[in-house]
Structure 1
């Protein structure tokens, strides 16, 4: 199934929300399947594909079947399912959206994982027994390129086909999902956690690449929205230069957060002021200052370690002075520090040189379509590695006693980077789209 999108022109991307015919509506209620339609809901049948005119529907050639269980129970009388991942999209303007799904089947057990936009993990392995129905609610952030003063975020060519930057909210349903109902409502009462970073943070569209920023939504219940503005290959300087910090600041509310993780690509900066204790330090302080001016809460995150094992079989630092510079800025500016560099070093050492391959993009040839050569990348993570690192960030949030810790999910897994999840047991339902192209970044 192809899920490449045709991106509208820059003019359409900048349409003001109040004047967008498709963007005016910010609340939807959908009842899936051919049975009785619940009051106040719009019926969605398997044939209802997405169209720009309608503004909602099954997307990317998704093939689903409808089932009618009979009865008079409203939303649970029917549903849709598929043996393959399927997508449903709704055209909405920028903002945070409360999404509620009703899942289950009258006769069969179901298993559901839900991803949003560019493979952001929202729900993981939700199970129902035959005859059991369950509702789950999560928050999805939708962003656009527009900045208040009429300028736009400078996107890279690869971002023009990303689900993160289009004009829809897209949900992907995996495993054996039976979807009964979907409700989407724009909300303004969420604490938004903005993410600024590089390829170790960004929402990666394609298998087998993944980053911690796209896994972390799974660990929060409503009350927190994750707005990931990271992009592969960026430095503190290029994030500024492409107006991404300006974009974040334009929509930040007092009490919102900005998590800042850079360093990998900053190592490549050239010039008389380049270096961890020069331009990197000065720019990091600029981020902190600008966020504080908006009433926001900056959090400095040290760079994830690379898979760089030394002769003794232990991780050696390949990031120079950059982690230490980040620690120093956090101490001087009196802001929270999540020492992801230290935690990932512990994590990879715990896995060991051989087993840690399971956390990175190391795959033999022909593991994915069009992959005629082996993939061997010691910087970029696969979904398992990204999930483990997201848990490191969650641990840091708890240790730093950040206010958002009260919104962590009730079923939060116990985690210790010195005792990582077994990569041979952890499972991820792969999305249909894959790429052999390494993300930008060092």
Structure 2
């Protein structure tokens, strides 16, 4: 392993390789910028990489039963079982990014970097490394290879119900989605807590995605939780007028670059009436997304109605087990809840032309009115744990 890491460092002088690189994980080599790869802690391993999409292939010896997260807790592999005496080489695609934007011309408006929050600066999504976390005995992972690949990318844009939540048990559907895709597409989650259609423009998040888009890519757009907040006058937009217009603008920008936009309406909040039915909280916004999708002939995923069916099927007591802060939070989910929402979204994406084939076949159907119970969910916890999720929607 030392020889590979030294060669890697000397050849690339701190920049990532342009061909497949293999790493021996049997040694507990700590990460260093000089080596460019190594263990961050007991369960997380990193390699320095430039922005792009990478195929990661693991060499796993049995007996083993592993799940793998990437970057800020994106679920890549779940419950891969390797019998004793056998070797398996599962692979998946990880997207790596940075905040850099092409500098605008002199005196032209714009920025040179995405405006990320303090929480993001401390996270793993915008750094110079590809990081993996093994939810298992790491000794079963004998080696890793990392190879740059050219594959379609599915970009996600939205708020805290979409973003990669940084600490277990909080989670959102966007970080669970890669697990349900095939190994020939990347998922790049650019959503963040508190974001709106307007703020994603002023923070240059939309600019970043548009700069990266290539023909054949996809952009899933889910805003609404924060856009409807009139107490946020700088980013408030009204359903039926400005909200619709901003959605149409995003659609036009994505299509201009040869990519496919997908609209998703917001997951509902968990508020029940006395009869055990969900009380809608999003007013006219979900209907506005449906209307814009129809008017613009854009693929659409129905998440509002699906989450209502999901919560009502579970009932008040069980549904609370799918939410953050031990159910006290009625908007944000935990790993079980986010996993089920991702199943809903994946099934909806299974009907999107060009994208449906990238949804793994077993996950193209899902009935939110007949969900698995929380007690059946067995994903091991992440080593990165906290008592609270990211603030805001």
TM-score, structure 1 as length reference? 0.81
**Which residue among 247, 260, 285 is the counterpart of 1:297?**
260
CA RMSD of aligned residues (A): 1.8
Deviation track 1:36-56 (CA, whole Å, cap 9, x = no partner) reads: xxxxxxxxx12x110011110
Query: 1:308 offset after TM fit, Å?
Result: 1.2
* 2:270 corresponding residue in structure 1: 307
* 2:141 corresponding residue in structure 1: 179
Q: Are the counterparts in 1 of residues 181 and 360 from structure 2 also a CA contact under 8 Å?
A: yes
Deviation track 1:267-326 (CA, whole Å, cap 9, x = no partner) reads: 214559731122211111110010010111000000001101112211111011111111
**Structure 2 counterpart SS, 1:93:** coil
The separation in 2 between residues aligned to 1:191 and 1:159, in whole angstroms, is: 25
**Which residue among 48, 54, 67 is the counterpart of 1:97?**
54
TM-score, structure 2 as length reference? 0.91
Deviation track 1:226-274 (CA, whole Å, cap 9, x = no partner) reads: 0000000111111111000100010100110100001111121455973
Q: Are the counterparts in 1 of residues 71 and 130 from structure 2 also a CA contact under 8 Å?
A: yes
Structure 1 residues 136-145 or 273-282, which shifts more?
A: 273-282
1:37-436 pair list within 5 angstroms: 45-46=27-28, 48-60=29-41, 62=42, 86-105=43-62, 109-149=63-103, 151-177=112-138, 178-188=140-150, 190-269=151-230, 270-271=232-233, 274-363=237-326, 376-398=328-350, 400-412=351-363, 415-436=366-387
The separation in 2 between residues aligned to 1:102 and 1:170, in whole angstroms, is: 16
Query: 1:415 offset after TM fit, Å?
Result: 2.6
Q: Are the counterparts in 1 of residues 161 and 173 from structure 2 also a CA contact under 8 Å?
A: yes
Deviation track 1:172-221 (CA, whole Å, cap 9, x = no partner) reads: 01123401111100112x11000000000000110111000000000112
Alpha carbons of structure 1 residues 59 and 271: separation in structure 2 relative to 1, 3 Å: closer
Gapped regions of structure 2 (runs ≥ 5):
1-11, 105-111
* 1:13 corresponding residue in structure 2: none
Q: Are the counterparts in 1 of residues 170 and 388 from structure 2 also a CA contact under 8 Å?
A: no
Q: Are the counterparts in 2 of residues 58 and 89 from structure 1 also a CA contact under 8 Å?
A: yes
The separation in 2 between residues aligned to 1:130 and 1:412, in whole angstroms, is: 28
Gapped regions of structure 1 (runs ≥ 5):
1-19, 34-44, 63-85, 364-374
Q: Are the counterparts in 1 of residues 222 and 264 from structure 2 also a CA contact under 8 Å?
A: yes
Q: Which one has the bigger strand percentage?
A: 1
Q: Are the counterparts in 2 of residues 233 and 439 from structure 1 also a CA contact under 8 Å?
A: no
Deviation track 1:364-418 (CA, whole Å, cap 9, x = no partner) reads: xxxxxxxxxxx610000000000000000011112x3431221223554863111
Structure 1 residues 407-416 or 92-101, which shifts more?
A: 407-416
**Structure 1 counterpart SS, 2:336:** helix
Q: Are the counterparts in 1 of residues 158 and 190 from structure 2 also a CA contact under 8 Å?
A: yes
Structure 1 residues 269-278 or 340-349, which shifts more?
A: 269-278
Query: 1:331 offset after TM fit, Å?
Result: 0.9
The separation in 2 between residues aligned to 1:135 and 1:344, in whole angstroms, is: 36
The separation in 2 between residues aligned to 1:297 and 1:51, in whole angstroms, is: 39
**Which residue among 22, 34, 41 is the counterpart of 1:29?**
22
**Structure 2 counterpart SS, 1:266:** coil
Deviation track 1:126-161 (CA, whole Å, cap 9, x = no partner) reads: 111110111101000001101123611000111101
The separation in 1 between residues aligned to 2:178 and 2:202, in whole angstroms, is: 27
Q: Are the counterparts in 1 of residues 303 and 344 from structure 2 also a CA contact under 8 Å?
A: yes
Moved over 3 A (4+): 269-274, 410-414
Number of aligned pairs?
372
Q: Are the counterparts in 1 of residues 325 and 387 from structure 2 also a CA contact under 8 Å?
A: no
Query: 1:25 offset after TM fit, Å?
Result: 1.6
Q: Are the counterparts in 2 of residues 264 and 441 from structure 1 also a CA contact under 8 Å?
A: no
The separation in 1 between residues aligned to 2:355 and 2:102, in whole angstroms, is: 27
Alpha carbons of structure 1 residues 127 and 271: separation in structure 2 relative to 1, 3 Å: closer
Whichever of the two has the greater Rg, that structure is 1
